[in-house]
C-alpha cells in the first residue's frame, strides 16, 4: 500500500520523559492517548463487524463504503487497522480530513493526498486529466486507488457531488477510485436526503460503529494497560470498571480521557488500587468542568490532558446547620486537607528529583 498522506499518527512506543503515573506504576508509555495508535487497537464485536463491511466493500473494487459513529468511537483507528491487514503494495491511498470545503477544493485535497502537486489556479479539466494519468500509473504498478474522507458530515452537497463524479471516471472499463466515507451519525440523514440520491445508489456497504459493552469496556481498559506493560499495578476493583463504563457509555475516547485522569489522580495520591469511588470522583469533577491547576501537568512531562489532575481532590463538603452536619463538614475538610498535603508533598519530591537530574 502506498499512502501519500496520513491524517493520524502513531505514538512512539518509547517515551523518554513520561507522565507522573507512567513512572509511578512502571508503565512503558501512556496507555490512554487520544491520538489513534494501532498498537492499542481493540477488536470489539462492533469493530469486527465494521472491518467485515470494509473488506466486503473493498472487494467490490468500486463505489462507496460508509462508516459512521459517534465522536471518539474509533472510526479512524478502524481504517488504520484495516490497512495493516491488507497487502500494502496493492493500494495507493489518499486520506483527507475535511472541515467545510468546496467541491473544487476537495478535488485538490484528494490529488494532493495521492502525491500530485497541485498548482493554485490550475483549470479543473487539467486536474482531472492528471488524476486519470495518476490512476493509470498506479494501475500499471498493480495498485488500486482508495480515497478515505474523514469528517464527511461537514461536506457540502457540492463536495459530495464532486466525490460522486470522481467515482464515475472509468479507465479501461474499471472505476478509477474507491471511496471510504467516515463521519458522525448526522451524515446518515444527509445521505438519505433527496439531494444525495445518486451518491446513495453507489454505496455498496454501510455500517454504524457503536460503543463498547460494559464487558468490552473492562477488556478494553485492561488491553490498553497491558500494551504498555501493566502487570496488575495498580489493581482495579471490579466496581471501578463498571463505574468507568457508566460514566463514558463505552465510547473509547471518553474511556481514554477518564482513565488517564484516574491514573494521574492515583499516582499523585500514591494509590496501588483504583476504586469505583476514585473513578466517580474524577468523572464528577470532569463533568463539572473544574480546573484543579496546572502544577501537576508541569511535573516530569505530564501531558496536557492531565493538567487538571488535582481537581479530584476537591470533595463536596456536606451542608447543613445541625451539630451532626457541622461535624461531617469538619471531617470532610480535614480529609481533603490531608489528601492535598500528601499530593503536594508528592509533587515536591517529583520536582526535586527532576532538578537533580
Query: Is the peptide bond between 234 and the residue preceding it cis, with omega within 30 degrees of 0?
Result: yes
Q: What is the mean pLDDT of residues 153-182?
A: 91
At 197-235, the pLDDT tens digits run 999 999 999 999 999 999 999 999 999 999 999 999 999
pLDDT at position 104 is: 83
Question: Does 313 score more than 50 pLDDT?
Answer: no
Residue 183 pLDDT grade (very low, low, confident, very high; cuts 50, 70, 90): very high
* Choices 3.40.50.300, 3.40.50.10800, 3.90.950.20, 1.10.3720.10: CATH for 43-209: 3.40.50.300
pLDDT at position 19 is: 79
Domain ranges of the chain: 43-209, 214-356
CB under 8 Å to 92, separation ≥6 — which residues? Answer: 1, 2, 3, 4, 114, 138, 143, 144, 145, 146
The bridge status of strand 170-171 relative to strand 174-175 is antiparallel
Question: Does 256 score more than 70 pLDDT?
Answer: yes
Q: Which residue has the higher pLDDT, 119 or 262?
A: 262
pLDDT at position 98 is: 74
The C-alpha atoms of residue 341 and residue 334 are separated, in whole angstroms, by 10
Element (H, E) at 239: helix 238-248
Question: Does 299 score more than 50 pLDDT?
Answer: no
For residue 199, count other CB atoms closer than 10 A to its CB.
Answer: 22
pLDDT at position 291 is: 45
CB under 8 Å to 315, separation ≥6 — which residues? Answer: 281, 332, 335, 336
Q: Which residue has the higher pLDDT, 113 or 356?
A: 113
Residue 290 pLDDT grade (very low, low, confident, very high; cuts 50, 70, 90): very low
The C-alpha atoms of residue 21 and residue 259 are separated, in whole angstroms, by 11
Contact 82/134 with Cβ under 8 angstroms? no
Q: What is the mean pLDDT of residues 318-347?
A: 60
Q: What is the mean pLDDT of residues 150-166?
A: 92
The C-alpha atoms of residue 297 and residue 300 are separated, in whole angstroms, by 8
pLDDT at position 318 is: 52
Cell 491488507 belongs to which residue?
Answer: 86
Question: Does 310 score more than 80 pLDDT?
Answer: no
Q: Which residue has the higher pLDDT, 17 or 144?
A: 144
Residue 13 pLDDT grade (very low, low, confident, very high; cuts 50, 70, 90): very low
The C-alpha atoms of residue 179 and residue 95 are separated, in whole angstroms, by 10
| Rounded alpha-carbon distances, angstroms, from residue 355 to 192, 228, 303, 310, 349 | 60, 27, 19, 22, 10
CB under 8 Å to 252, separation ≥6 — which residues? Answer: 42, 72, 73, 74, 77, 211, 212, 220
Q: Which residue has the higher pLDDT, 18 or 352?
A: 18
Q: What is the mean pLDDT of residues 265-275?
A: 93
What are the φ/ψ torsions at residue 141 (nearest 5 degrees)? Answer: -85, 5
At 186-197, the pLDDT tens digits run 999 999 999 999
Question: Does 351 score more than 70 pLDDT?
Answer: no
pLDDT at position 357 is: 55
Contact 299/263 with Cβ under 8 angstroms? no
CB under 8 Å to 350, separation ≥6 — which residues? Answer: 20, 299, 300
Helix/strand/coil for 102: coil
Residue 88 pLDDT grade (very low, low, confident, very high; cuts 50, 70, 90): confident
pLDDT at position 302 is: 38
pLDDT at position 20 is: 87
Cell 507522565 belongs to which residue?
Answer: 19
- pTM score: 0.77
Question: Does 315 score more than 50 pLDDT?
Answer: no
Q: What is the mean pLDDT of residues 79-105?
A: 86
Q: What is the mean pLDDT of residues 91-97?
A: 91
Beta strands in the chain (DSSP E): 2-5, 64-69, 91-97, 144-150, 170-171, 174-175, 178-183, 203-209, 235-236, 273-274
Calculate the average pLDDT of the chain. 82
At 29-68, the pLDDT tens digits run 999 999 999 999 999 999 999 999 999 999 999 999 999 9
At 24-33, the pLDDT tens digits run 999 999 999 9
C-alpha radius of gyration, the chain, whole number? 25
Amino acid at each position: 500500500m502506498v499512502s501519500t498522506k496520513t491524517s493520524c499518527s502513531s505514538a512512539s512506543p518509547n517515551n523518554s520523559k513520561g507522565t507522573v503515573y507512567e513512572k509511578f506504576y512502571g508503565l512503558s508509555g501512556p496507555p490512554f492517548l487520544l491520538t489513534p495508535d494501532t498498537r492499542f487497537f481493540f477488536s470489539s464485536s462492533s469493530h469486527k463487524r465494521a472491518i467485515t463491511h470494509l473488506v466486503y466493500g473493498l472487494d467490490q473494487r468500486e463505489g462507496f463504503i460508509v462508516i459512521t459513529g459517534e465522536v471518539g468511537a474509533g472510526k479512524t483507528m478502524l481504517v488504520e487497522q484495516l490497512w495493516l491487514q491488507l497487502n500494502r503494495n496493492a493500494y495507493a491511498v489518499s486520506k483527507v480530513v475535511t472541515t467545510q470545503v468546496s467541491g473544487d477544493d476537495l478535488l485538490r485535497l484528494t490529488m494532493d493526498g495521492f502525491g500530485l502537486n497541485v498548482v493554485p489556479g490550475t483549470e479543473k479539466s487539467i486536474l482531472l486529466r492528471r488524476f486519470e494519468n495518476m490512476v493509470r500509473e498506479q494501475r500499471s504498478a498493480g495498485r488500486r486507488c482508495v480515497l478515505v474522507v474523514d469528517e464527511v458530515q461537514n461536506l457540502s452537497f457540492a463536495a459530495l457531488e464532486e466525490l460522486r463524479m470522481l467515482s464515475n471516471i472509468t479507465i479501461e472499463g474499471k472505476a478509477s477510485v474507491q471511496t471510504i466515507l467516515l463521519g458522525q451519525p448526522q451524515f446518515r440523514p444527509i445521505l438519505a436526503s433527496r439531494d444525495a440520491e445518486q451518491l446513495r445508489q453507489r454505496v455498496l456497504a454501510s455500517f454504524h460503529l457503536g460503543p463498547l459493552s460494559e464487558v468490552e469496556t473492562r477488556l478494553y481498559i485492561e488491553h490498553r494497560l497491558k500494551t504498555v506493560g501493566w502487570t496488575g499495578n495498580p489493581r482495579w476493583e471490579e466496581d471501578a470498571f463498571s463505574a468507568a463504563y457508566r460514566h463514558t457509555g463505552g465510547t473509547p475516547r471518553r474511556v481514554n480521557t477518564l482513565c488517564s485522569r484516574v491514573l494521574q489522580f492515583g499516582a499523585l495520591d500514591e494509590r496501588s488500587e483504583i476504586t469505583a469511588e476514585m473513578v466517580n470522583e474524577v468523572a464528577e469533577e470532569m463533568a463539572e468542568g473544574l480546573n484543579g491547576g496546572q502544577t501537576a501537568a508541569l511535573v516530569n512531562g505530564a501531558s496536557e490532558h492531565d493538567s487538571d489532575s488535582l481537581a479530584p481532590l476537591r470533595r463536596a463538603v456536606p451542608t447543613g446547620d445541625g451539630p451532626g452536619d457541622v461535624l461531617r463538614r469538619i471531617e470532610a475538610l480535614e480529609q481533603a486537607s490531608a489528601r492535598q498535603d500528601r499530593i503536594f508533598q508528592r509533587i515536591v519530591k517529583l520536582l526535586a528529583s527532576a532538578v537533580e537530574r
